[in-house]
Structure 1
Amino acid sequence: MYKGSCLCGAVRIAVEGDLPRPSACHCTACRKHTGHYEASVDIPRTALRIEGEDAVRWYHSSEKVRRGFCGTCGSTLFWDPIHRDWTAVAMGAFDGPTNTSLSMHIFVSEKGDYYEIGDGLPQNIR
């Protein structure tokens, strides 16, 4: 079981089972939503428990995706493709070791010009 929360603790998460390898998204929307790029892991909805769900605020960034954040402290928490059976959880929300590591970078064609990606992981332009 992996646990985590937003910065203020109003929203708490728990994930059953092992965490898959996360990806890092460098698209403009993720950079604006998080303030940098977003590292997140796709979790089946059946394995994700959210406490304090009333504090989660949702922003519909497109007709297919909504982004969840804490309405109290503003912490980025979720990237949720509405018509899928999983939700991406921000890696920064987890407490303690996650026992996983990045698998790839996506949307690198939109990455910020102020940083370089030098970890040797695959980089997809989209």
Structure 2
Amino acid sequence: MPHSGSCLCGAVRFTVEGDLPPPDGCHCVNCRKQTGHYLVSTDVPKAALSVTGADHVGWFQSSEKVRRGFCTRCGSTLFWDPVFRDWIGVAMGAFDSPTDTHQSKHIFTSEKGDYYDIADGLPQNLR
């Protein structure tokens, strides 16, 4: 089953073929600064992702190994790309419903913001 989504303004649309793996919530400082809270994303094979309006995707190289994709028109967070891997993280908030998946865990909880608690009972990894 394909899963589709878009940025806020609709300039970038995407489709992921196949089931969406359970996403995780990343609380690292970089994800929090990029999104304004924390990033929940699902990791899919790059070959399963197709993007329309790719000319409106901007990329920020946040480290030697990772770049972050966003819409250059509206600023929506869309992708987390470990450039040397065959998969890409897609932001769950950008998908149209239903996604037929549920968050599985929290990662980098040692860097979470002090203004919220994680109380959903999911596993928490410090890194």
Supply the distance in 1 between the matched residues of 2:47 and 2:85 (Cα, whole angstroms). 12
Q: How far apart are 1:96 and its partner, in Å?
A: 1.3
Correspondence list, 1:111-122, <5 A: 111-122=112-123
Letter in 1 for 2:27: H
Tell me the residue number matched to 1:33.
Answer: 34
Supply the distance in 2 between the matched residues of 1:105 and 1:62 (Cα, whole angstroms). 21
Supply the distance in 2 between the matched residues of 1:18 and 1:66 (Cα, whole angstroms). 24
Q: Helix, strand or coil: the match of 1:96?
A: coil
| Per-residue Cα deviation, 1:85-118 (whole angstroms, up to 9, x for no partner) | 0110000000111010001000000000111001
Q: Helix, strand or coil: the match of 1:113?
A: coil
Tell me the residue number matched to 1:24.
Answer: 25
| Per-residue Cα deviation, 1:14-44 (whole angstroms, up to 9, x for no partner) | 0101100000000000000000000000010
Tell me the residue number matched to 1:45.
Answer: 46
Supply the distance in 1 between the matched residues of 2:112 and 2:11 (Cα, whole angstroms). 31
Query: RMSD over aligned Cα, in angstroms?
Result: 0.4
Supply the distance in 2 between the matched residues of 1:28 and 1:96 (Cα, whole angstroms). 28
Q: Mind listing any 5+ residue stretches in structure 2 that lack a counterpart? A: none
Supply the distance in 2 between the matched residues of 1:20 and 1:79 (Cα, whole angstroms). 15
- How many residue pairs align between the two structures? 126
Letter in 2 for 1:18: D
Tell me the residue number matched to 1:90.
Answer: 91
Q: Mind listing any 5+ residue stretches in structure 1 that lack a counterpart? A: none
TM-score by length of 1: 0.99
Supply the distance in 2 between the matched residues of 1:107 and 1:96 (Cα, whole angstroms). 27
